Amino acid sequence: MATTIKIPFPASKTIFIWIAAAYLLAGVNGACAQAQQTTSASAARGVFVVFLGTGMPRPDPQRQGPSLAIVVNEKAYIVDAGTGIVRQAAAAYERGIEALRPNALDIAFLTHLHSDHTLGLPDLILTPWVMHRTVPLQLYGPIGTQAMADNIEKAYAEDIHVRIEGLEHQTTTGHQVVAHEIQPGVVYQDANVKVTAFAVHHGSWKEALGYRFDAGGKSIVISGDASPVDSVIKACSECDVLIHEVYSGDPGSAENAAYFSSFHTSARELGEIAAKARPKLLIVWHYVPLENTSETQMAEEIHKNFHGPVIVANDLDVISP
């Protein structure tokens, strides 16, 4: 199923909200209608999610690395920085989402420092600057975020030197990163959003985070990478949208099973989480189908316990609570 919904944004302009190939997988037609209605209603108020990348570590040509933007009143708040992040933002900008103009990207939140979630970080630091961003990137994340930003700057020191001192005359500020190493709690607030971080369990990572965004009367919760954990349920608590990672299918060897159960959440487990968290809409991203499990099979596993609407996000989907 592919649906295109035309909505006014802002009052004088028009963009398209896509749930292109977004599979609504609960009881199927009823859930689909529900999501379409909620999409057009609150996008007009200026809160929506743009999925820049929905992939996993495997280099799937159809899916960029995990990254999304929460857009509120034409301002983008990025979560995670997977491969392709700035080009995907440019694609969304070309489709009419002004907030994702590459040189407007200046604030991001990292869930954890796994490479698939941060391979796009040099891109997010440097490309908007090359495109004339003049302010530093505000970067929130777990312990290690500062060192990662510092090391990226060191790696590109010669590039930065040439672009500032050479004929490009880039600013001395736009490539900088202001890193904020955060702990669970309210980590950011402005006129648009309140962002609350919460701890999740992700295998042997010492620190991994999820985020709850409260904006325009809507609540959007992002699990980050996580094995089943009560903090996601508590952070959501009947939230408007829960965006959660998932895998489905048989991990195979005992070694693989141990890895997946410690680092990630199975479709059956996600159904149990969602049944307790009761989001109005569950969006699956960073989906790992083991042994070519189909999305329908994955959804059936979720729906053993959760009976609300479920969307599998695809790259450049724009979904509003």
Looking at residues 202 to 241 of the shown chain, list those that interact with Zn ion (rule: CB under 5 A). 225
Report which of 275, 316, 199, 259 is spatially closest to residue 57, judged by C-alpha positions.
259
Q: Which stretch in 25-33, 115-123, 143-151, 252-260 sits in contact with Zn ion by CB under 5 A?
A: 115-123
| Interacting residues of 142 by C-beta distance below 8 A, sequence separation 6+ | 110, 112, 113, 181, 182, 207, 208, 209
Measure the CA–CA gap between 50 and 67, rounded to whole angstroms: 9
> CB-wise, 114 or 133, nearer to Zn ion?
114
Q: In the set 75, 114, 218, 264, which binds Zn ion (CB under 5 A)?
A: 114
Residue 80 beta carbon to Zn ion: minimum distance, rounded to whole angstroms: 8
> CB-wise, 223 or 320, nearer to Zn ion?
223
163 is a contact residue toward Zn ion (CB under 5 A): no
63 is a contact residue toward Zn ion (CB under 5 A): no
> CB-wise, 245 or 317, nearer to Zn ion?
245
Residue 45 beta carbon to Zn ion: minimum distance, rounded to whole angstroms: 31
> CB-wise, 148 or 160, nearer to Zn ion?
148
Q: Which stretch in 5-13, 116-124, 137-145, 266-274 sits in contact with Zn ion by CB under 5 A?
A: 116-124
Residue 133 beta carbon to Zn ion: minimum distance, rounded to whole angstroms: 27
| Interacting residues of 48 by C-beta distance below 8 A, sequence separation 6+ | 17, 42, 70, 71, 318, 319, 320, 321
244 is a contact residue toward Zn ion (CB under 5 A): no
Residue 10 beta carbon to Zn ion: minimum distance, rounded to whole angstroms: 34
The site for Zn ion, by CB under 5 A, has a size of 3
- In the chain the first and final C-alpha atoms are separated, in Å, by 19
Specify the residue for token string 């609540």.
219
Measure the CA–CA gap between 295 and 293, rounded to whole angstroms: 7
Residue 82 beta carbon to Zn ion: minimum distance, rounded to whole angstroms: 8
The string of DSSP letters for 262-311 reads HH--BHHHHHHHHHHH--SEEEEEEEEEGGG--HHHHHHHHTTT--S-EE
Q: List residues binding Zn ion (CB under 5 A).
A: 114, 116, 225
